[in-house]
Amino acid sequence: MIDNLPPRRELPPEVRDRIRLRVRAGLDEATRPAHRRRSVWLVAAAVVVVATGVVFATGVPRGDSAGPLAPAAPRNSGQEMLDRCWNAMKPYYPEIGDPRGWNIPFTLVHGDATVTAAMIGDQPLFCETTLTTVTISDPDAPPAPVPGTKAKVYLRTADGLVAGLADPAWRGVQAVAPGVTLQPDGPPAWWLSSLSHQFAVFTGAGPAVPLALGPEGAEVDPSALVSAPAALTVKVDRPASAERRSEAGMFLDECLASSAQQVPDRGAYVAGAFLSWNNRKLIVARLGQHVLTCSARPDPGKPGATYYAVNPSSVQDLKPGAGGGALAPVLAPVKETGEPERLVFAGGVPENVTRVSVTYPGGQPKDAVVAHGTFAIWHTDADNSSIVDGRTDVKAYDAAGNVVIEASLKLF
């Protein structure tokens, strides 16, 4: 018998999230269907607790659907996005020509953000569009060099885009944030043009997070930190502000602003179901067909500090249509150090849903908190043990008491 093992150590939250992200990415790759099937309208959480105390979640399909919910399709046509870029530039460069005449090496879509790389004459230009905002690099600003390389950075945006000219020897691009876990929504997205050497990489880290850049697949010097010139303009051309005066609204604003994981159009997300337990908080938020969660809890590695996290696996797409919706996998704030994690079952439902009932195996129905097309409910310790072997029943009702969603879900 071994009785001199070192005491159990709590994993730092950024390490826990990195493990979740890697496991989630591997599971998604393994379960991705070869062909897209008909729309998934309901996805539940599968939660696994391993010996280290790390918890991760994967999507579990319903019916004949396979794999996790597919990413959102771009909301706008390519020409519409170019027109938004052009209109944002014209006040600064009235002489700039119609974008139909621009040389465009690539356009990269990542979630609701799209970056267009253009060459106007011999001048590289980058334009990022989201649902509400256009951000454009400044053609007259000197680019920021990447130390020790021939690469240059022209633009960093609030939601984590880094764009510029790569070292001609590079065949790919990767970003490293020393001391910070980058948590892009899904595997990191990047593109590098072999002709213009323009690159774009979505990191999930805002401009305040120090970044080092290097070639894909090689060791990146963490001291080779990059900066970026100020953008020419950050224009909100499609305003969509949401309420931020209620307790839920104020917490959502605080949480999204403080999380290392940045979210495009964060000011437009509507605060939904809100849970508070001791000094732990979790909120579900919604923007159109998108649902995400953001949580706050004491940082075990920094006494007195708060750790904010947008769960990278919780951003889900709601499929349109009557009765369409999604139940997103969510991880809740942790308990006191050394205790098991407390989980939350949460997600998005059709806007007309006013009540969501959850029945764990062998248990009684429990009502979730419902607000603005979202819901959330705590797992108790008893729930965590009972859901391993059985199925969880979920019913969603409208104001007249009609059942809008009914499903029996295997959460493990």
- The pLDDT value recorded for residue 388 is 57
Cα-Cα-Cα-Cα dihedral sign, residues 162, 168, 170, 172: positive
DSSP string, 140-167: TSPPEE-TTSS-EEEEE-TTSEEEEE--
Sheet holding 123-129, edge to edge: 103-110, 113-120, 123-129, 133-136, 233-236
Lowest mean pLDDT, pick from 157-166, 219-228, 271-280: 219-228
- The pLDDT value recorded for residue 232 is 95
Tell me the per-residue pLDDT of 233-283, one tens digit each, with 9 for 90 and over: 999 898 877 899 999 999 999 999 998 777 888 889 999 999 988 788 999
Average pLDDT over residues 92-112: 88
pTM of the model: 0.63
- The pLDDT value recorded for residue 320 is 38
* Burial class (CB within 10 angstroms; exposed 0-12, middle 13-18, buried 19+) of 93: middle
- Lookup: tokens for 195: 């002709």
Instruction: Give dist(CA 222, CA 277) in Å, integer.
Output: 38
Instruction: Give dist(CA 374, CA 298) in Å, integer.
Output: 25
Domain ranges in the chain are 13-69+240-409, 78-236
| pLDDT over 70, % of the chain | 68
pLDDT beyond 70 at 304: yes
- The pLDDT value recorded for residue 233 is 94
DSSP string, 250-277: HHHHHHHHH-SS--TTGGGPEEEEEEEE
Cα-Cα-Cα-Cα dihedral sign, residues 242, 247, 253, 259: negative
Of 76-80, 167-171, 265-269, 347-351, which one has max mean pLDDT? 167-171
For residue 24, the SS3 value is: helix
- Lookup: tokens for 310: 């947008």
Tell me the per-residue pLDDT of 382-392, one tens digit each, with 9 for 90 and over: 555 555 566 77
The answer to whether residues 323 and 30 touch, using CB atoms and an 8 Å cutoff, is: no
Tell me the per-residue pLDDT of 180-221, one tens digit each, with 9 for 90 and over: 655 544 445 789 999 999 999 988 777 878 888 989 888 888
Of 41-50, 69-78, 273-282, which one has max mean pLDDT? 273-282
Query: Confidence class of residue 303 from pLDDT cuts 50, 70 and 90?
Result: confident
Calculate the average pLDDT of the chain: 73
- The pLDDT value recorded for residue 407 is 76
The answer to whether residues 272 and 293 touch, using CB atoms and an 8 Å cutoff, is: no
Query: Confidence class of residue 61 from pLDDT cuts 50, 70 and 90?
Result: very low
